[in-house]
């Protein structure tokens, strides 16, 4: 049982209070001028909501250092552990933003696609279309139009969309050539106007240990190359695709996976600090954070894996902060939302319509008790 579960009566009272607050917030919901998306590949909702998993922290058969996990990430309650793992999410975002997907409260968010791995997940996030035919991680150019691409067609966003990804598939998933969205992925160097740090990282990114065998650089390079790109070019739609969490999980390195998640949280905190300190972005930018897929349960070695053969790996989470989301914190009401609602949410936050050639899923509603998302016919 999770340490922060609450008795039924209190729960009911909470729902009533939460609902009244949320109703107040709807009128306050504002349009954003800019959107920043951060994804942590294959980050489990279990760890986001309860921190280091006891079954993995005290696993004597583990290949990773349990001692390191215990010393750095363990605490008696899930509420303390999650704060150790992702302090920014569980302070700033839980106070001023919204966090969806704590299944302990029946608040569900899932992939609508049935594949539960990366390309289908990213396709669903950016196109709003859980296309069942997107079913491999091969370097196929995405035939579906994405929300960055459609915004990039509008004069206000033209040349103001950018993607920085660790994995070298992002340029295919966003179909860089067709979409006109600028994509820096894999070990690509940033060109043009550069910061000192970018010049350094352009060289260092391929000198760092090549842990993921050529397809993926370390997130530290992706993040700072992207952050400095934001500072120099002021994109209005920005995407950071981080990948370390998934790679370390596949390797069975729970210690490094947790480290990667904590670093990502720190970078998100830096990113938010920058956004709120820069007049171009401050108070008019909404930051969305999510994942492409979940992973299996802690028991056995299932947490390492995901995909059709791993039950539960279509279960995800979502967090956001900024003018377009209510300060609901961790949502504790029953709901079923889907990853495919994020694309239309981005357009709606910008006050734009989203009409790709396919039928995208409806935007997320941040109002408790709102109709849950429905998977369209496909």
278: which 2 tokens? 């820069």
DSSP state of 252: T
Contact assessment for residue 293 and residue 130, using Cβ atoms and an 8 Å cutoff? no
Contact assessment for residue 95 and residue 145, using Cβ atoms and an 8 Å cutoff? no
Range 263-278 burial, b when 16+ CB lie within 10 A, else e: bbbebbbebbeebeee
Q: Which stretch binds Zn ion (CB under 5 A): 19-27, 39-47, 126-134, 324-332?
A: 39-47
Give me the 301-340 binding string for Zn ion, x by CB under 5 A, dash otherwise: ----------------------------------------
Site for Zn ion (CB under 5 A): which residue of 246, 259, 265, 330?
Answer: 246
Contact assessment for residue 311 and residue 293, using Cβ atoms and an 8 Å cutoff? no
User: Would you call 92 exposed, middle or buried from its count of C-beta atoms within 10 A (0-12, 13-18, 19+)?
Assistant: middle
Kindly tell me which of 224 and 257 has the beta carbon lying closer to Zn ion.
257
Q: Which stretch binds Zn ion (CB under 5 A): 241-249, 259-267, 328-336, 345-353?
A: 241-249
Q: Cβ 295 to Zn ion, closest distance in Å?
A: 8
Kindly tell me which of 246 and 255 has the beta carbon lying closer to Zn ion.
246
Q: Cβ 291 to Zn ion, closest distance in Å?
A: 11
Q: Which stretch binds Zn ion (CB under 5 A): 35-43, 48-56, 139-147, 197-205?
A: 35-43
Q: Which stretch binds Zn ion (CB under 5 A): 36-44, 134-142, 164-172, 233-241?
A: 36-44
Give 165's strand partners: 241
Q: Which stretch binds Zn ion (CB under 5 A): 41-49, 141-149, 202-210, 351-359?
A: 41-49
Kindly tell me which of 215 and 362 has the beta carbon lying closer to Zn ion.
215
Contact assessment for residue 272 and residue 321, using Cβ atoms and an 8 Å cutoff? yes
Rounded distance between C-alpha atoms, residue 238 and residue 215, angstroms: 22
- DSSP H helical ranges for 184-253: 196-204, 219-233, 244-250
Helix (H) / strand (E) containing 320 = strand 318-321
**Rounded (10°) angle between helices 219-233 and 254-277:** 10
Kindly tell me which of 116 and 318 has the beta carbon lying closer to Zn ion.
116
Q: Cβ 118 to Zn ion, closest distance in Å?
A: 6
Q: Cβ 250 to Zn ion, closest distance in Å?
A: 6
Total binding residues toward Zn ion, as defined by CB under 5 A:
2
Give the residue among 146, 49, 203 at the shortest CA–CA distance from 358. Answer: 146
Kindly tell me which of 116 and 157 has the beta carbon lying closer to Zn ion.
116
Residue 317 makes CB contacts below 8 A (sequence gap 6+) with: 43, 45, 48, 49, 99, 100, 101, 102, 109, 290, 291
Kindly tell me which of 247 and 330 has the beta carbon lying closer to Zn ion.
247
In the complex, residue closest to Zn ion by CB: 246
Q: Cβ 308 to Zn ion, closest distance in Å?
A: 13
Q: Which stretch binds Zn ion (CB under 5 A): 19-27, 138-146, 244-252, 308-316?
A: 244-252
Q: Cβ 279 to Zn ion, closest distance in Å?
A: 39
Interactions with Zn ion, residue window 6-25 (CB under 5 A): none
Kindly tell me which of 121 and 360 has the beta carbon lying closer to Zn ion.
121
Contact assessment for residue 263 and residue 73, using Cβ atoms and an 8 Å cutoff? no
CA atoms within 13 A on the CB side of 355: 3
Q: Which stretch binds Zn ion (CB under 5 A): 157-165, 233-241, 246-254, 344-352?
A: 246-254
103: which 2 tokens? 């299944």
Q: Cβ 327 to Zn ion, closest distance in Å?
A: 33
Q: Contact residues for Zn ion (CB under 5 A)?
A: 42, 246
């Amino acid at each position: 049982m999770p340490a922060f579960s609450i008795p039924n009566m209190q729960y009911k009272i909470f729902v009533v209070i939460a609902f009244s607050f949320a109703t107040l917030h709807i009128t306050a919901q504002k349009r954003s001028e800019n959107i920043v998306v951060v994804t942590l590949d294959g980050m489990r909702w279990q760890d986001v909501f309860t921190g280091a998993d006891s079954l993995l922290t005290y696993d004597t058969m583990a290949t990773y250092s349990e001692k390191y996990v215990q010393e750095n990430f363990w605490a008696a309650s899930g509420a303390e552990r999650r704060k150790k793992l992702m302090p920014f999410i569980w302070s700033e975002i839980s106070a001023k933003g919204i966090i969806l997907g704590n299944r302990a409260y029946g608040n569900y968010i899932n992939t609508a696609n049935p594949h539960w791995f990366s390309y289908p997940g990213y396709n669903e996030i950016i196109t709003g279309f859980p296309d069942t035919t997107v079913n491999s991680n091969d370097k196929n150019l995405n035939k579906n139009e994405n929300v960055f691409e459609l915004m990039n067609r509008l004069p206000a966003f033209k040349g103001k969309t950018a993607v920085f990804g660790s994995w070298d598939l992002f340029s295919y998933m966003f179909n860089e050539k067709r979409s006109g969205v600028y994509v820096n992925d894999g070990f690509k160097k940033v060109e043009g106007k550069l910061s000192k740090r970018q010049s350094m990282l352009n060289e260092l990114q391929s000198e760092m240990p090549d842990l993921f065998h050529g397809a993926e650089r370390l997130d530290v390079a992706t993040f700072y190359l992207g952050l400095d790109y934001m500072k120099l070019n002021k994109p209005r739609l920005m995407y950071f695709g981080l990948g370390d969490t998934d790679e370390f999980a596949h390797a069975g390195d729970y210690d490094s996976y947790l480290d990667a998640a904590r670093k990502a949280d720190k970078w998100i905190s830096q990113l938010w600090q920058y956004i709120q300190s820069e007049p171009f972005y401050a108070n008019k930018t909404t930051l969305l954070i999510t994942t492409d897929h979940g992973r299996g349960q802690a028991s056995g070695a299932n947490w390492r894996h995901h995909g059709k053969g791993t039950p539960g790996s279509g279960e995800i989470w979502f967090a956001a902060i900024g003018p377009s989301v209510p300060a609901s914190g961790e949502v504790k009401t029953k709901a079923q939302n889907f990853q495919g609602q994020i694309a239309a949410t981005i357009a709606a936050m910008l006050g734009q319509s989203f009409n790709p050639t396919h039928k995208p899923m409806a935007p997320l509603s941040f109002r408790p008790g709102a109709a849950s998302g429905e998977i369209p016919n496909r």
